Amino acid sequence: MRRLLAKPPASDARAVDAWLGANPAPRTIAAFAALPGEVDLMDVIARHPERRWVFPRVEGDELRFHAPGNPAADLTSGVFGVREPSPALPVVEIAEIDAFFCPGLAFDARGGRLGRGKGFYDRMLAAARPDALKIGICSQAARVDDTFPESHDIAMDEVIFC
């Protein structure tokens, strides 16, 4: 488990840049502020201002998305120590989101995702548009043979192993 929590090198996000270059259709993308061991997307986001980037905020048992003007500066420590947007920022309805970049402790090549156990992402992804892309993003160290998904787990359409 320790290897899953190791901080990935900064160069790892290049695979996300490549994905964005190959997939111009998603205009509104839900991103995440990285926790230790997760791929940091802030430099990627800064290099792609043509996209509309939104971030989740924990509200009760759900995630609500907001569009910060400057994600690197507009996110503050929130629930569980995750950086999240202020509730005063514009709300973006889940139906407006074309793709979801999802963090996780581990992913498998079949799109299985091991989250942190609270179910926020699975509940949110279950409510997303059927055509919205679900993209797992993780370091190579977080790649596992099997995540042993349960019936409530939402599979990723694709996983970017950085």
Structure tokens at 91: 């709300």
Tens of pLDDT, residue by residue over 45-88, are 999 999 999 999 999 889 999 999 888 788 988 877 889 999 89
pLDDT at res. 18: 94
Tens of pLDDT, residue by residue over 4-33, are 444 444 446 889 999 999 999 999 999 999
Domains of the chain, start order: 2-161 (3.40.50.10420)
Full-prediction pTM beyond 0.75? yes
- Name the residue type at position 112: G
Tens of pLDDT, residue by residue over 33-47, are 998 889 999 999 999
